[in-house]
Amino acid sequence: MMIVTRFAPSPTGYLHVGGLRTALYSYLYARKNKGKFLLRIEDTDLKRNSKEATIAIKEAFKWCGLEHDGEVTYQSERFDIYKQYIKKLLDEGKAYKCYMSKDELDALRAKQEARKERPKYDNRYRNFTGTPPSGIEPVIRIKAPESGEIVIHDGIKGEVKFQVNDILDDFIIARSDGTPTYNFVVVIDDALMGVTHVIRGDDHLSNTPKQIVLYEALGFKMPEFFHVAMINGEDGSKLSKRHGATDVMEYKQMGYLPEALLNFLIRLGWSHGDDEIFSMDDMLKYFDPYAINKSASTYNKSKLEWLNAHYIKTMPFERLAKEMLYFGVDFKAHKKGELLLDILRERSKTLVELKDSANAILNRPTQYEQKAVDKFITPTSLDILENFAKILTLDLDAKAYEVLTNEFLNKNNLKLKDLAQTLRISLVGSSVSPSIFEVLEVLGSNEIKTRIANALNVLKV
């Protein structure tokens, strides 16, 4: 049997990181087994759909490298198919038209609430053979079981039992305007698309008994279900924006690499021993949906930053330089760009931090941090800086600049602390930078002298 999985978001907003995690699980299981991973846009709710959201979902998939098989399926283009199956169920007596008015429904709900019963439809039109009331467009309801239990054999949760009386009534499968409902179209699409394994959030668990009723009524083969526990914030509540970004593409804006985000997400609910770092090849090799944890996982921003820093440190220059173009920094355009990237990547947790550090070195300072100036700049330190500039005649590497600097210091009976911070402020505008000698190598003697001259003009009173 070919494994076929799918990801089926509703295009009502951005792609949530929780959705990306279930998409990743589905993608890995299909790819690992040389199966198919499908993308379906569940856009039957025409009032809430957004073309922009559909584009955002596709962009997020592209950024993360989760390639789906075949064309994207849009439910809004399949209404004729759904109508055929509605008719089939009506013709076979497995569904029926319900003419219950809103007033009838409100009255029923009021009685049930008064008796402290669970609000549910009372099947009053289940076997109706009379004349339909005028002026009411009927909904279509499925004939659900009226007693017994429905058992789900879940790949994560194990056996889950639902008592029919507690959860089911003859639920609606098509609204009065003819549009089909969520549970109905999901079943039709999963069956016709040959989906064998449905991996989704456990907020869908309560829908599953209804879907099982529909699979059985339609005579479709049922997929295996995996209901993944939610991601919680560090305070134990449901993940929201106050815990961290929930929009996948926000992570790109914040300077996270897709490898880091996927690595982070796969560990939210699944593990392989004590391993923390997982390349895509590792994920494909080790991932098993049957090993997904039953309990909710906790979002940990520090872990994400740690993973991102790892990928920044270990990523090949060409790839990282390409990523940095998005943030307006072209390392390849600078003759010492690879050296600069190498000295900065060791101290950067995000690409935004890397951008800021790079710009601090690549761009001549237009102002100087006042706190640093007050602490380190004196008439004497500026005289030392001015004299140091006079010995800069050749472009050197970091080691040679270190030798040259030490010779200058020894000749003038000075120590590195007498020069280093004043020099650093003149070059980058603050007292913080990577090794001063590496900064000297990146800039070269002409640029160093220009920056020193600019600083002297501003700071020498």
Query: What single string gives the DSSP state of each residue in 301-321?
Result: HHHHHHHHHHHHHHS-HHHHH
Residue with tokens 């008592």: 163
Is residue 440 within 8 A of residue 416, CB to CB? The reply is no
pLDDT given at position 51 = 76
Residue 123 structure tokens:
């099947």
Domains 1-74+229-314 and 79-228 share a fold: yes
pLDDT given at position 419 = 96
Which 8-state DSSP code applies to residue 131? P
Q: What are phi and psi of 106, to 5 degrees?
A: -65, -40
Question: Strand, coil or helix: what is 101?
Answer: coil
Residue ranges of the domains in the chain? Answer: 1-74+229-314, 79-228, 364-459
Query: What single string gives the DSSP state of each residue in 202-258?
Result: GGGGGGHHHHHHHHHHHTPPPPEEEEEPPEEPTTSSBP-TTTS--BHHHHHHTT--H
Q: For the domain bounded by 1-74+229-314, which CATH number is listed? A: 3.40.50.620
pLDDT given at position 241 = 65
What's the pLDDT tens digit per position in 19-34? 999 999 999 999 999 9
CA dihedral 231, 232, 237, 240 (to 10 degrees): -70
- Angle at which helix 79-91 crosses helix 182-192, to 10 degrees, equals 100
CA dihedral 400, 403, 406, 408 (to 10 degrees): -70
* Other beta carbons less than 10 A from residue 283's beta carbon: 20
Q: For the domain bounded by 364-459, which CATH number is listed? A: 1.10.10.350
pLDDT given at position 235 = 79
Angle at 188 between CA 182 and CA 190, to 5 degrees: 95
Low-confidence ranges of the chain (pLDDT < 70): 46-50, 240-245, 461
pLDDT given at position 244 = 63
Burial class (CB in 10 A: 0-12, 13-18, 19+), 152: buried
**pTM of the entire predicted model:** 0.91
pLDDT given at position 71 = 92
241 carries a ligand binding annotation: yes
Q: For the domain bounded by 79-228, which CATH number is listed? A: 3.40.50.620
For 116-134, b/e burial (b = at least 16 CB within 10 A) is: eeeebbebebeeeeeeeee
Sequence-ordered list of residues with C-beta below 8 angstroms from that of 36, at least 6 positions apart, any chain? 2, 3, 4, 5, 30, 69, 70, 194
